[in-house]
Chains A and B, each alone.
Chain A
Amino acid sequence: MLSAGLILFLAALQGVTELFPVSSLGHAVVVPRLIGLNFNETSPAFVPVLALLHLGTAAALLFLYRRDWARIITGFFRAAARGRIDDPDQRLAIMLVVGTVPTGIIGFLLQDPLKSLFGDPRAASIFLIVNGGILFAAEMFRRRDEKRRRLDGAPVLAHEEDDPAYQPIEGLSLRTALIVGFFQAGALLPGISRSGITMAAGLVAGLRHEEAARFAFLLATPIILAAGLLEVPNLGADAPTFGVGIAAAALAGIVAYASARFLLRYLRLGRLDPFAYYCAALGAAGLVFIH
């Protein structure tokens, strides 16, 4: 059984890293080993405890985008009943379904082999470096695109939101949403960030940075919520006490909410490169110091 202190530490770590493009799962596997907290990541309680923390994160995302979700859910039922898409809310709802199904199916089919990777911090370290590479590559692709556009005579705009070449989520096609959904399945590996890989895919698809983050957060919510709801009953005899469980989920949620607000504000002007360097550094540290 995991101690209350360790669970609360994992909750804070999960809250910060779940929505930043740096892989919460990779952090949960690598960071405790790096700082000398010895516990068994293959313990039957580890994944259900992480799933419990995910419920807190999912609640934070639902609260953050509560108005969007009200429109998305209504839009889904309208589109499903009519069998056609009539407005942007319905389109966004169907895009989220199309983008969620691949990860859901792949995660469900591969859950056992994937869980075995959770006990391998060196594998997670390698995937963290890969995650850094993905973020860096996406930003490099975006910079090249911006440079090409400037050479073609497009005006230089200080604020990406003003640039009509980069679009909001509603401008994506359903096919692109499906491709982004397949990319999201990569985040089932500890070290590959769900929000990072979907933001990277969104940038390559032509979304603005802030919109790529919004799409990543909306796309992540059903998966995080479903993983939490399906996995928490497996806590069994190893479950933390009710008070610790609630406190941990609440802590994860509050920290996740603050992280998401910070990230959305940062991405109005900032880029993903700092997160890329951070992931590469953490992964390298894991490979060097964890034996």
Chain B
Amino acid sequence: MRGSRPLALALLVLAVVFAIMAIFYFTQKTNFLASGRPALHWKHAIVFTVLTLLAVVAANFARPKSISA
């Protein structure tokens, strides 16, 4: 695979967004994208943490590799 620097950057930006969402859900009582009264939605936090890690892995796959790598 040749890789794509713009795609890798886009995935990294996505990872940052997911990480911010994860921190938000870990620390704030909210009902944003969740049902019920404002609360700490740790399930949302865990899901966004997993998505952050997957986006970083996907960015690593998407980045251009040197020929020797």
Choose among B1, B43, B50, B60 the residue that contacts A80 (Cβ–Cβ < 8 A): B60
Contact A230 B1 (CB under 8 A): no
A80 CA to B61 CA, complexed, in Å: 7
A84 lies within 8 A of B54 (CB): no
Interface check B57, CB cutoff 8 A: yes
Question: What 5 pairs across the A-B complex have the smallest Cβ distances?
Answer: A83-B60, A80-B57, A83-B61, A112-B35, A230-B43
CB of A76, distance to nearest CB on chain B (Å)? 9
* Interface SS majority for chain B: helix
Number of chain B residues whose Cβ lies closer than 8 Å to a Cβ of chain A: 14
Please count how many residues in chain A sit with their CB below 8 Å of the partner chain's CB atoms: 13
Nearest opposing residue in chain B for A97, CB measure? B54
| Residue contact A108 to B35, C-beta cutoff 8 Å | no
CA distance A84 to B58 in the complex (A): 10
A/B interface sample: 13 pairs, CB < 8 A: A79-B61, A80-B57, A82-B60, A83-B60, A83-B61, A83-B63, A83-B65, A84-B1, A97-B54, A97-B57, A104-B50, A108-B43, A230-B43
- Residues from chain B with a CB closer than 8 A to the CB of A230 are 43, 46
How many A-B residue contacts, CB cutoff 8 Å?
25
**A contact face: mostly helix, strand, loop, or mixed:** helix
Taking A101-B54, A112-B35 as contacts, is the C-beta distance between A84 and B61 under 8 angstroms? yes
Chain A residues in 8 Å Cβ range of B65:
83-84
User: Whole-angstrom distance between the alpha carbons of A135 and B65 in the complex?
Assistant: 43
Shortest Cβ gap from A169 to chain B (Å) = 20
Interface string of B39-55 (1 = CB under 8 A from A): 00001001100110010
Q: A83-B63, A97-B54 are in contact. List 8 more A-B contacts (CB 8 A).
A: A83-B60, A84-B1, A84-B61, A84-B69, A97-B57, A101-B54, A104-B47, A230-B46
A53 to B1, CA, bound (A): 42
Give the complex CA separation of A101 and B47 in angstroms: 11
Complex CA gap A82/B46 in Å reads 25
Chain B residues with Cβ below 8 Å from A108 are 43, 47
Chain A 81-104, CB-CB to B under 8 Å as 1, else 0, gives 111100000000000010001001
Question: Which residues of A lie under 8 Å from residue B69 when comparing CB positions?
Answer: 82, 84
Q: How far is the CA of A82 from the CA of B1 in the complex (A)?
A: 13
Give the CA-CA distance A84 to B35 in the complex, in Å.
39
